[in-house]
Amino acid sequence: MAVSGCGDRSRRQRRSVSNRRCRRLLARPSAIAQRACGRTASGISGGRPKGTCCWFRSEGPSDRPYYSGIGATCAGGRLPLACRPFPDDRSNSVSTDLRFVVRPGGRLQGDIRVPGDKSISHRSIMLGSIAEGITHVDGFLEGEDALATLRAFRAMGVEIEGPDAGRVVIHGVGMHGLQPPDAPLDLGNSGTSMRLLAGLLAGQGFEVTLIGDDSLSRRPMKRVTEPLALMGAEINTTPKGTAPLMIRPVDGLRGIDYVMPVASAQVKSCLLLAGLYAEGETWVTEPAPTRDHTERMLQGFGYEVMIEGPRRGVRGGGKLVACDIDVPADISSAAFFLVGASITEGSDLILRHVGMNPTRDGVINILRQMGADIEVSNERVVGGEPVADLRVRSAPLRGIRIPEDQVPLAIDEFPALFVAAACAEGETVLTGAEELRVKESDRIQVMADGLKALGVQAEPTPDGIVIQGGPIGGGRVDSHGDHRIAMAFAMAGLRASGEIEITDCANVNTSFPGFADLAAATGLNLEVAHV
């Protein structure tokens, strides 16, 4: 994250996005209540023609209301950004399935920059929205997860221009300027959005409901709702502690001193954001280091963050001042190319402007321990975030026992690392990674099943996996709608002896729009099939 020069800066030639609020109409009091909205699509992604949409509310089989968009119109048949179908209603989606087909062979070469960091993109929208002044963002990730956060703040009255080629302009409303949304905020597949917004909205003084797709609705939320309750928040969940989250207004929040039972950047960030609105100080103690983008960005917006060893704290009652943000390339997205080039003879690939935050560099540390040839150059600090260029060349890998202190530093990169382990000589053992079982999928079990389908010995354990390196065959793999698993198995095709078909890949767009095109341009024999 590059943060520079608070306040306004010279105006840019960017198109403005109309930020109108939805007007609700209940058509009839039945199980399906139709609502019409007047949102326009003018200016979205460079100024598409105007379009309209209709929204339906339905009581599903689980009696959980869900929202889906139909009837939207715009040029080229593409739905307006703010009015796309929600992922958990596939009957109204453009395609019911998207598959990757990877033919064997190929090698990775070129000089590329992967899309912007997802974690920083989320936080730029959140903090820019509650800051005073205008925040300009460059390098914003235009993936579905980050766009879900952007849409949520538009729904709460924040004027946001873009995204246009990664550029976003946020007209902040201040700490207490958010408005009640006209409908539940649908966050799609984004756990970061739901958990961080739970904290930020807990002290807003209005009622709001957070919903998500089927995958997000299965993920545990008690890890944030329980400590928020200690601060005085009132948040209702399902009996299982999952979404939807109904956040009710309270008289005020109070600071707490909370020791996290499990290292989690999302829980830490949730509580720090709630602490901005709490009386007194809010402290969070980490059992192990986790990504610190929230702390760095708060400081960039001029908000004091107290740091005492493993403890992070904020005092309520301050304000944020708008800044300029340069989002670096996402190391989690770069990880697939780091692995792909490492495992494929003749590969030589350069990745530019990659975020090198020390709380996120576990994937590089682990690959180097396995014998990967990764060269780091042009190291610099851009607005408080370390950035560098990476050159990776093919190298023989060896199995290792992954140090547990590296697990939180590579928690999102393990699907790619499991493919590296499958291509390494010898055995790779991972422990202390039970958090992988509650990601977008059970990544331990799903990766083990996929590797076995390709002929690799992989045995899941309660908190990790044991992988015996060896030949990779062809076959069919179900990604279970998990974007990182789909991309990991795509890279496995570089070493496979036969064709690999990967199903349920549409969610790749949540974190890496354009992955298939970029991967193919660097040498992966990848085709996309719409079913």
Active-site amino acid positions? 412
Which residues, at least 6 apart from 441, have a Cβ–Cβ distance to it below 8 Å? 215, 479, 480, 481, 482, 485
- Rounded-to-integer distance, Cα 154 and Cα 10, Å: 24
Measured CA to CA, the distance from residue 309 to residue 30 in angstroms comes to 56
Beta bridge mates, 99: 529
Q: Is 4 exposed, middle or buried (0-12, 13-18, 19+ CB in 10 A)?
A: middle
Tally of residues, the chain: 531
* Alpha helices by DSSP H, 387-501: 414-422, 443-453, 483-492
The β-bridge partners of 530 are 98
Nearest Cα residue to 199 out of 158, 227, 237, 171: 227
> Which residue type occupies 471?
P
Determine the Cα–Cα distance for residues 346 and 108; give it in Å rounded to an integer: 8
CA atoms within 13 A on the CB side of 182: 17
Rounded Cα gap, residues 496 and 340, in angstroms: 12
Q: Which of 41, 23, 37 is nearest to 79 (CA)?
A: 41
Q: What is the largest distance, in Å, between two alpha-carbon atoms of the chain?
A: 65
**3-class DSSP state of 484:** helix
Residue 77 to residues 72, 95, 96, 402, Cα–Cα distance (Å): 9, 12, 16, 47
Is the CB of residue 344 less than 8 Å from the CB of residue 107?
Answer: yes
- Encoding tokens for residue 273? 């954001």
Go through 159-183 and write b for each residue having 16 or more CB atoms within 10 A of its CB, e for each that does not: bbbbbbebbbbbbbbebebbeebeb
Tokens at 413, concatenated: 């990169």
Identify how many contiguous H helices and E strands the chain contains and give both numbers.
12, 29
Q: Which two tokens stand for residue 296?
A: 């760095």
CB 318 within 8 A of CB 306: no
Residue type, 264: S
